[in-house]
A and B are shown apart, each in its own frame.
Chain A
Amino acid sequence: MVVYGVAVLAGCTLVGLYVGDLLGAALGLQANVGGVGIAMLLMIACTNLRAAPLRPGTPAGNGVDFWSLMYIPIIVAMAAQQNVAAAVSGGAMAMLAGVAAVVAGFALVPVLARMARK
């Protein structure tokens, strides 16, 4: 059933985010630490294990597939509610700090990716 897939997805997401919150609290932070990553690992386990409850092409799998296809529309909605006005009006210092961080990050991607391939 489609809803089984959606339920497994919701379960993985909730467990991952909650563990991320607990990790953050244990470290004394007001932030979630790795919640989405933990949830994705659970999801991968649910689909890769030999007795995996979820397989692509099954009704349950379609329930998950639908949400992964909804990913881009959700990201468009996310973009539409960013505080762009504050970013634009932050002044030269904020602008330059943000731009410098992005340029430096982009420049390092090929360097580290080359290390990863070795």
Chain B
Amino acid sequence: MMVLEKFAASNGLLVGFLFVGLVMALAYWIARHLTRGLLHGSAIAIALGLLLAWVAGEQTGGAKGVADWPLLAGVGVLGGSMLRDFAIVATAFGVRLSDLRSAGWVAALSIPLGVVVSFLCGAVVAYGFGVRDPVAITTIGAGAATYIVGPVTGASLGAASDIISLSIAAGLVKAVLVMIATPLVARRIGLDNPASAMVYGGLMGTNSGVTGGLAATDPKLVPYGAMTATFYTGLGCLMGPSVLFLAVKAVLG
């Protein structure tokens, strides 16, 4: 076993390719034979990935899903932020500037609106659960934006560590749900053109959620959603500890 683990570790990226290839083969088989094309193969593949990550997390107690299994550590390289960003930028190859402009100023507006709406949802839920401390409410609200905005906001406001983990959990719930639910609601919310994909990216904001959700819906829409979502976390980190915290303090008197 030790020999195998060492071998897998030194060939990590290749193990990652093989792992993803097998997951996708299984997913496309399920899509064709069990759902009769109702669900797209890539949507099932992403759901399978999340399911495996859950099992692995429960078993290892780690935070990196299947990458915490020594044999599959290489999946962490393949799915890490470096190759993810590299591949997202590659999807911009062949994008026409006119499509990028199709959503116009509404695309830009969707980003702050998305941050504020997500924040409000998280803050109201926290208040509903009896939280009254403005720092805690702000941190949880920020977590509902993304799982990066939450801890960054919490850290700069000096929130307690259990509140910070709560905010990370809220952001993770959002990311996972966006990945799973996007292909299911795509038709109903009109997510089938570059303009609505840009608006969607700005409103949802969570990078992994948006890129995963669009990949499962229509890969052609990925660059448009990624274009707006990429500004969301930065804007959230900017607004969380400042205007949003002040607003919460003002409302709570």
Contacts and interface: CB of A to CB of B under 8 A. Distances in A.
Contacts of A90: 165-166, 168-170, 172-173
B238 A110 contact: no
A54 B94 CA distance: 10
Interface in A72-96: 72-96
Contacts of A73: 17, 20-21, 24, 78
A39 B65 contact: no
Interface in B211-247: 211-212, 215, 219, 222-223, 226-228, 230-231, 233-235, 237-238
B133 interface: no
B122 A97 contact: yes
B174 to A, nearest CB: 4
A84 B231 CA distance: 24
A32 B237 CA distance: 10
A82 B176 contact: yes
Given A36-B226, A95-B173, A98-B171, A44 B65 contact: no
Interface string B47-82: 111111110111001011111000010011011100
A108 B125 CA distance: 19
Nearest to B169: A90
A16 B89 contact: yes
A81 B169 contact: no
A81 B46 contact: no
Contact of A34 (B58, B80, B231): B231
B53 A79 contact: yes
A97 B230 contact: no
Interface of B: 16-17, 19-21, 23-24, 27, 42, 45-54, 56-58, 61, 63-67, 72, 75-76, 78-80, 83-97, 100, 102-104, 106-107, 109-110, 113-114, 117-118, 120-122, 124-126, 129, 140-141, 143-145, 148-149, 152, 155, 165-179, 181, 185, 189-191, 193, 195-196, 198-200, 203-205, 207-208, 211-212, 215, 219, 222-223, 226-228, 230-231, 233-235, 237-238
28 contacts: A13-B85, A20-B230, A24-B234, A24-B237, A34-B231, A39-B89, A40-B227, A43-B90, A47-B94, A68-B93, A73-B24, A76-B27, A77-B78, A78-B212, A79-B53, A80-B75, A81-B75, A84-B53, A84-B54, A84-B172, A90-B165, A90-B172, A97-B143, A98-B122, A98-B169, A101-B170, A104-B118, A107-B189
Interface of A: 9-10, 12-13, 16-17, 20, 23-24, 27, 29-37, 39-41, 43-44, 47-48, 54, 56, 61, 64-65, 67-68, 70-102, 104-110, 112-113, 115-117
